[in-house]
Amino acid sequence: MTTHASATCTAFDGHRLLASGSADEVALAVKRAHDTGAAGPLLVFDDRSGRPVEFDLRGSEAEVQARLQPAPASARGPGRPRLGVTAREVTLLPRHWDWLSSQPGGASGVLRRLVEQASRNGDAAQRWRESAESVDRFMLAMTGNLPGHEEASRAFWQGERERFAALTAGWPADVRNHLRHLAAIAWDDAGR
């Protein structure tokens, strides 16, 4: 389980949508629900990966939010910490280092440009896989015991939107709606 969320996350109190938004917003909603005796289970999912997110709910709301903030950089190491640049090891063959060193901007500049280009273009197959895995994780956690789960899962993977909608129609509304939203993103990424 991750201990922090990416850009956004979604929380459920049992099958009821509790909150969706930034980690700060969702953590406060979960803290309040926890402190007021929510029926539970309180589950939080990273919107991008579908992975569970855990928040440390001890203490006051301010303390919960303070723990979500990144720790300040203590020692200046290699890289340019003010810009968020950190040095890490890259292992390449000598011919790769030779080619990189002959490029404008040197090895670091070329690697940054290559990574930026790849992330901008984004591999459609990779986007589909990531979004489909997000649907799969959410389904397993939230609908694994609901009637028609297996059939709905098969319909999702086969891209059968109408069948998927029919199979999930009787599920709790908040779970169904969030799942359909995630599935639509995955199908759009796949061009289905």
C-alpha dist (Å) from residue 110 to 96, 115, 116, 120, 151: 12, 9, 10, 15, 47
Indicate whether 117 belongs to any domain: no
Indicate whether 110 belongs to any domain: no
Indicate whether 131 belongs to any domain: yes
Q: Output the six-digit token pair for 56.
A: 């440390």
Indicate whether 58 belongs to any domain: yes
Considering all CA atoms of the chain, what is the largest pairwise distance in Å, rounded to the nearest integer? Answer: 63
Q: Which residue has the higher pLDDT, 189 or 60?
A: 60
Q: By the 8 A CB rule, do 70 and 76 touch? A: no
Indicate whether 118 belongs to any domain: no
Indicate whether 32 belongs to any domain: yes
pLDDT at residue 89, rounded to an integer: 79
Indicate whether 2 belongs to any domain: no
The residue among 21, 61, 72 whose CA lies nearest residue 45 is 21
What would the pLDDT profile of 135-188 be if each residue is shown by its tens digit?
Answer: 999 999 999 999 999 999 999 999 999 999 999 999 999 999 999 999 999 998
Domain boundary among 68, 90, 116: 68
Domain boundary among 30, 52, 68: 68
Of the chain, the percentage scoring pLDDT greater than 90 comes to 50
State the total domains in the chain.
2
Residues 6+ away with beta carbon under 8 Å from 110: 100, 103
What would the pLDDT profile of 106-144 be if each residue is shown by its tens digit?
Answer: 777 888 887 777 666 667 677 788 889 999 999 999 999
Cross-strand partners of 9: 21, 46
pLDDT at 16 over 50: yes
Indicate whether 18 belongs to any domain: yes
- What mean pLDDT do residues 70-78 have? 59
The answer to whether the pTM exceeds 0.95 is no
Domain boundary among 29, 48, 68: 68
**Cα–Cα distance for residue pair 93/125, rounded to 1 Å:** 28
Q: Provide the domain limits for residue 51.
A: 9-68
Q: Which residue has the higher pLDDT, 126 or 75?
A: 126
